Amino acid sequence: MKITLDPSGNANYGISYKYYKKSTKPATNITPMSSTAAASMPESRATRPDLGKGIVIFSKDGCGKCAYAIKYMKEKNLTFKEINISANEADKKLMWDTLLSGGFSGTSVQTPVIMVDGKVHYNMDIKSFLADLKP
């Protein structure tokens, strides 16, 4: 909302918003990457280990819950992979593709998004979720 005053003291205001329409297209399955496609990708994506095994944390810069999750994992000596979606658009797309293939149908999600052996977890009570993780 924007409010301005003219010299006579009258207030003018304006409201702007964006409308997002939820897509009705069904989520598509992610297909395995060919070795040719992997070779043409940046090294960090081409050499990324299998995301279906172990713990993967999709995080972003400035996220307190992400920082808490990563600190917790390190303190408990739990093995995990971190993918920071702030670093590049390809990682952000990977997170969204993973969410959609896991059945997510919303338009927004809070980070961190955590995968445990291929199962996607999001918008959870982070402290309870992490306390229930088994090494």
Domain that residue 110 falls in: 2-131
Q: Is 79 helix (H, G, I), strand (E, B) or coil?
A: coil
Tell me how far apart the alpha carbons of residues 114 and 80 are, in angstroms, rounded to a whole number.
Answer: 10
| Torsion of the alpha carbons at 85, 89, 94 and 96, rounded to the nearest 10 | 80
pLDDT in tens, 100-115: 988 888 888 999 999 9
pTM of the model: 0.63
* Residue 66 · residue 111 · CB < 8 Å: yes
Ranges of residues in the chain with a pLDDT under 70 are 1-50, 135
Structure confidence at residue 56 (pLDDT): 93
Q: What pLDDT shows up at residue 37? A: 40
Of the candidates 58, 35, 59, the one whose C-alpha atom is nearest the C-alpha of residue 47 is 35
Q: Which CATH number do you get for residue 55?
A: 3.40.30.10
Asked whether the beta carbons of 70 and 61 are under 8 A apart, the reply is no
Total domain count, the chain: 1
